[in-house]
Each structure stands twice: as structure tokens, then as C-alpha cells.
């Protein structure tokens, strides 16, 4: 019979799944930030979009699950983790000054963070505060997720009524 120690159980509870994503012009910033927080990041399960994940894996020498490149579906794969409540935090250094062809994917990913009340950091300052927060580090914080089927149905009905009345 497998016996898991109290410490091991506590570490498993405290381990979070963190997604790391960066646009091309922001990849150096994310790598620099991740290097300065390597000790904390090493305690968690890390996932990333393709190219970003490869660069981080090389620099950090940590295990990182790599999804597809963002424009090729990686943003949606991370979005699916959010919707399935399998992600605890998103560090997404996106470039607001350089439009990308997959901007709708970026907007959808950030929208999912709001819908599911997922902590998201888009700058080094916010990412610093997030991963060093006692709430993030501790094991007793639970996100309040209040989105249920009834709310989704109400939103759909409101959209249908607006469409029937000629609103876009």
C-alpha cells in the first residue's frame, strides 16, 4: 500500500499549474523574469506555448509542458485548461504595441481569465506580486468561481433578445 507522507500531501496541495506565455517582443522579458523566480517556479507544474516553452526550458532547465505555438492553437489549448479549471495562474507577457494576426486569440484568453476569475499577470511587476503573494504560496486560498450554467444561459438569452431587436 502506498503511504504518502503529510509533507508530500501538503506539497501536492500547494503545487499550482502555471501557464507562461509571451509574444515575440516580450520573450526576453519573460525569460529574465522566470530566471529571477526560478526557485519558486520549480515548485509548480509549468505549461507554456510552443516557442516560449522551448526557450524557457533551455534557460531554466525545468520541465515545462509545451503546447502548440500561440498562433497555431496554443492560446486555445491554454484557454481550455482555464475552462476546465486545470490552471491556477497565467503569466502572459503580451505586446500591446505590436498587433499580431492572432489578436482575437489573445482577447479570448484574457476574457477566459476574467470569466473564471483566474489570476493573470501581463507585466513583470504584476507577475512579481503574484508569485510572491502569501495567498498564492499558501495552500488555503481558493478562487471564487461563480460562473454556472444558469448565468451562461441568461447571457445567451440576453444576446438572442438583443439580436432579435436588431442589435449586433
Is 158 an annotated catalytic residue?
no
Biggest distance spanned by C-alpha atoms of the chain = 64
CA 148 to each of CA 114, 153, 161: distance values in angstroms, whole numbers, following the listed order: 14, 9, 20
Are residues 13 and 39 in contact, defined by beta-carbon separation less than 8 angstroms?
no
Residue 62 CB partners (closer than 8 Å, separation 6+): 38, 41, 42, 46, 56
- Catalytic residue, chosen from 24, 29, 75, 140, is 75
For the chain, what's the residue count? 168
Helix ranges, the chain (H): 6-14, 27-36, 38-41, 50-60, 74-83, 103-115, 124-132, 134-137, 149-164
The catalytic residues are 75
Amino acid at each position: 500500500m502506498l503511504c504518502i507522507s503529510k509533507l508530500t500531501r501538503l506539497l501536492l496541495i500547494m503545487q499550482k499549474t502555471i501557464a507562461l506565455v509571451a509574444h515575440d517582443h516580450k520573450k526576453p522579458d519573460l525569460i529574465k523574469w522566470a530566471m529571477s523566480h526560478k526557485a519558486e517556479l520549480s515548485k509548480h507544474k509549468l505549461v507554456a506555448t510552443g516557442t516560449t516553452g522551448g526557450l524557457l526550458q533551455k534557460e531554466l532547465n525545468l520541465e515545462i509542458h509545451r503546447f502548440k505555438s500561440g498562433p497555431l492553437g496554443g492560446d486555445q489549448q491554454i484557454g481550455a485548461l482555464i475552462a476546465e479549471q486545470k490552471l491556477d495562474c497565467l503569466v502572459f507577457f503580451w505586446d500591446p504595441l505590436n498587433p499580431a494576426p492572432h489578436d482575437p486569440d489573445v482577447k479570448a484568453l484574457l476574457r477566459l481569465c476574467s470569466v473564471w476569475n483566474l489570476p493573470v499577470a501581463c507585466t513583470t511587476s504584476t507577475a512579481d506580486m503574484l508569485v510572491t503573494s502569501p495567498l498564492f504560496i499558501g495552500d488555503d486560498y481558493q478562487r471564487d468561481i461563480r460562473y454556472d450554467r444558469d448565468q451562461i444561459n441568461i447571457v445567451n438569452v440576453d444576446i438572442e433578445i438583443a439580436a432579435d431587436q436588431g442589435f449586433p
